[in-house]
Amino acid sequence: MLSLLISPLWSALDRPDKRSALLSFFDFCIETIAAGSPPPGCLSTGTAIEAATHSARVETAVRAFLDELETAVHDRPAAIDDGVVLEVDLRAAARLVVTTTRGIAVMERVGHGPAELRAIAETLVTSLVGPAPGGSDGRRSLSG
C-alpha cells in the first residue's frame, strides 16, 4: 500500500540534480495538497493531527508513511552525482524536507496559495543546496 502512495513521489524526485529533484518533489506535494476546490489538503498531515492521537494503529501507519517518505527524499538525491554537497547531513535534510511538507499543508489550510507555498519550498531548497546555477539570486518564478 505504501508503495502506491510513494511511487509518484519517487518519480517527482527523478531529476538530474539535487536542486531540481527537491523542487520537483515540493511542486508535486503542493499540487496535490492545493488542487481542486476546495483543496483536499494533505491526508497524512490531517490524519496525524486528528486521528493518530486516538489510535495506535493509525499513528503507526502515518509514521510508516512518513518514514518511507523520508527514505525516498534521502535515497533519490543521494544517488544524484551532481557535485552539490548539501549544507547538512542528507538524512537530516530529508527529515527537514518531509517536516516542511507537513508545514506547507498547514499553511495551505490557513489560506496560503501555491505561489506562497512554492516560495517556502524554494527558500528551504536554497538553504540546503545553494542558489540555482547561473541565477542572480537563486530564485525562480513563483508560478512554477
pLDDT value at position 48? 53
Query: Which range in 65-69, 87-91, 120-124 is most confidently predicted, on average pLDDT?
Result: 120-124
Overall fold of domain 2-129: Tetracycline Repressor; domain 2 (1.10.357)
* Helical ranges in 35-141 per DSSP H: 43-50, 56-78, 90-109, 114-129
pLDDT digits (tens, 9 = 90+) for 69-83: 899 999 999 999 999
- Give one DSSP letter per residue of 49-77, joined into a string: HHTTTT-HHHHHHHHHHHHHHHHHHHHHH
pLDDT value at position 144? 44
Banded model confidence at residue 51, pLDDT cuts 50, 70, 90: low
pTM of the model: 0.78
Identify the three-state secondary structure at position 12.
Answer: helix
Domain ranges of the chain: 2-129
> Is the model's pLDDT at 24 over the cut of 60?
yes
Using the 8-state DSSP alphabet, how is residue 143 labeled? Answer: T
Query: Which range in 7-11, 40-44, 133-137 is most confidently predicted, on average pLDDT?
Result: 7-11
Find the range with the poorest average confidence among 10-14, 23-27, 62-66.
Answer: 62-66
Find the range with the poorest average confidence among 24-33, 56-65, 80-89.
Answer: 56-65
pLDDT value at position 121? 96
pLDDT value at position 36? 57
Rounded distance between C-alpha atoms, residue 29 and residue 124, angstroms? 14
Rounded distance between C-alpha atoms, residue 86 and residue 93, angstroms? 8
